[in-house]
Amino acid sequence: MRHMPNDTIIVSVGSEELVIAFGDPGLPVDGRGGNDVMIATVDGGPSSLLFVGDESTLNGRSHGGNDLLVATVEGRLPYVSLDGDAQIMSDQAHGGNDVLHVEASNATFANVYLSGDAELAMTGNAKGGNDLITAEMGDRSYGAFSGDSGSLMSGNAQGGHDIVSVMQTGASGNASISGDAFVSMIGDARGGNDILIYTVGADAQSGSASVFGDASDMNDNARGGNDILIAAVDGNPDSTSIVLVGDASQMTGNARGGNDILYGSDRGDLLYGDARAYNPFIGGAITGGRDILNGGGGNDQLWGGPNNDLFVFGAGSGQDVVSDFNQGNKAGGSTAPEHDVIDVHAYGFAGWADLKSLISDDSAGNAVIQLTASDSITLDGIHAADLHARDFIV
Ligand SMILES: [Ca+2]
Ligand SMILES: [Ca+2]
Ligand SMILES: [Ca+2]
Ligand SMILES: [Ca+2]
């Protein structure tokens, strides 16, 4: 296996400039990329930067190096794309363990695209590295972040175990984060076990993000990893719109969700243990994970999805709604029974009798658990009389 050198590449991208750089140009099939350091300063946009840690394509038994890619971005309308390894990975290619960082707090109207391994596709038996991806986003900017592929994972492609952390530091902005493929996982693609964090910074006026543990779409026999998704709001913004989804926005065919853990912010969030929408090949073909959902403060709406999920509520949890309590399998077209559980241990009730006295139906016939004067849980489609001690951790 030919080893490529470890390079240091430093570039400056000025107004109306386009800079493209590869860490290991000419990397041969079955070669091994060097461990490169690539640093860019982007200012005075509109401007455009593309950094690729190794080479445009990685195929055969090629192995990407462990690269460090950093961009400091300022000005208006910069476009920044960082790929840890390649644009396309196929065959037995392996991504390196890369570190990608963009500091774009002072940019406006920026477009930032970070992919831990391949920009466009991972096919065959390609395997993603374990990457660390971090970004600070400025005002009126958009960022798309993926732990492995910036678009597609197919065949037997396997995502790495990545950490992605994005902060909205500017007044307003929008981010989309996927632990594995940014768009689709098809065939037998498998997601890694990722940690995804979205933070609305102390000075932000609004923050908006969609966070998917694995991909936007999971089709065929795609399988989600066991991911941890966390949202946080540091300051007191006018508005937030945060959606956490343990696996994919849509699960189709025979897709299988991982066992994910979701923590919402102190604002009203939307949390989905598996997917937002299901389109099974036949009834029950989609398997959900055993997920843990904690909306945090604010008035949250929660869906565990198929399989047995745990909903956790702590003091100050707000007025939350569980939309599919014991009904997640039905959403996946299955009639198999399901047993979700609600954990209210943090409230310190003496026992089931105490808790039971706080549960009644609202005017629409949905069970409401009135935890405190300001904290409640509404279970859509469930009556108070349907609930038993076994449904709770007291
Ligand atoms: Ca991943
Ligand atoms: Ca997952
Ligand atoms: Ca919340
Ligand atoms: Ca689930």
β-sheet bridge partners, residue 83: 52, 115
Q: What is the mean pLDDT of residues 21-41?
A: 97
Distance 272 CA to ligand 4 centre (A): 8
344: helix, strand or coil: coil
What is the rounded distance in angstroms from the CA atom of residue 176 to the CA atom of residue 357? 42
45 vs 50, 136, 384, CA distance in Å?
14, 18, 59
Per-residue pLDDT tens for 247-295? 999 999 999 999 999 999 999 999 999 999 999 999 999 999 999 999 9
DSSP string, 136-167: EE-TTEEEEEESSBSSEE-TT-B----EEEEE
Please check the confidence at residue 98 and state whether its pLDDT lies above 90. Answer: yes
What is the rounded distance in angstroms from the CA atom of residue 149 to the CA atom of residue 117? 6
What are the domain boundaries of the chain? 8-289
Q: What is the mean pLDDT of residues 4-20?
A: 97
What is the rounded distance in angstroms from the CA atom of residue 302 to the CA atom of residue 124? 36
Q: Count Cβ atoms below 10 Å from residue 236 Cβ, excluding itself.
A: 11
The answer to pTM > 0.95 is: yes
Distance 322 CA to ligand 3 centre (A): 13
Ligand 1 ion: nearby residues, β-carbon < 5 Å:
147-148, 159-160, 162, 179-180, 192, 194
Identity of the residue numbered 207: G
